[in-house]
Amino acid sequence: MGRNAETNKARRAQTHARLMDAAYSVFGEKGFRAARIEDIARLAGVAKGLLYEHFEGKEGLVREFAAILGSEMEKEVRGKLKNVAFADAHTVLQSAFEATFEVIDRHRELASFFVREGRSVSAGMGRVIHSLFDRLERLALVQFQRGMAAGLLRDTLDYRLLARAVTGLMEQAAYYYLTHPELARARTVETLVDFVTSGVRRPTEARA
């Protein structure tokens, strides 16, 4: 690659990053609906037309934010599960939930934007936002299949349905967690894991 090509590539990457930073600020201040492309381009210090060379409007920017956050969630969960033997569902679920909420805390403003906007944007953008958890649904299915193959989980259940249910629960719990800052992460994870593995009934010995 020639020097000019390398310079152009670096310049394009810098412009892309400036647009992302500007969009983050404008979306955070005005929300998705009220944000204007002109505001984002102006804050980034570029012409409006240049933004469209990088993104398909506001929706393209949101898709990229979702891809970044979703990718980091998946990477964190995979890392947590890498050295976890499927000894029991509780251990696996706790590792997965902890990893997910660690990422949410690390990018709290961005995650808050997604859960807030997910209830007000168009159906198309709503699907983009829900896609954040699609990666986790696939990981959950793999873990359920591991447990079933190891003879630790019942083979009479529909684990595709359960993977969808668990990630749906996680998505709704994330919304609640982000809108209730007094809620501790450890308590959130503990509640979710206990509910999924044990339900809401008290143990027999506790009821005796």
pTM for this prediction: 0.78
pLDDT at residue number 1: 54
Residues spanned by the domain of 93 = 59-199
Whether residues 51 and 79 share a domain: the answer is no
**CATH code, domain with 85:** 1.10.357.10
Whether residues 92 and 165 share a domain: the answer is yes
Number of domains, the chain: 2
- Show Cβ contacts of residue 173 under 8 Å, excluding neighbours closer than 6 positions: 188, 192
* Matching residue, tokens 């168009």: 122
pLDDT at residue number 87: 66
pLDDT at residue number 202: 75
- Please state the φ and ψ torsions of residue 77, each to the nearest 5 degrees: -65, -45
Using the predicted structure, report yes or no on whether residue 203 has a pLDDT greater than 90: no
Residue 204 inside a domain? The answer is no
Locate the DSSP E strands across 27-118: none
Residue 206 inside a domain? The answer is no
The CA distance from 66 to 121, in Å, is: 14
Residue 51 inside a domain? The answer is yes
Residue 21 inside a domain? The answer is yes
The CA distance from 95 to 18, in Å, is: 35
Whether residues 68 and 46 share a domain: the answer is no
- Show Cβ contacts of residue 114 under 8 Å, excluding neighbours closer than 6 positions: 65, 66, 69, 129, 132
CB atoms within 10 A of CB 190: 14
User: Among 3-7, 87-91, 122-126, whose mean pLDDT is lowest?
Assistant: 122-126
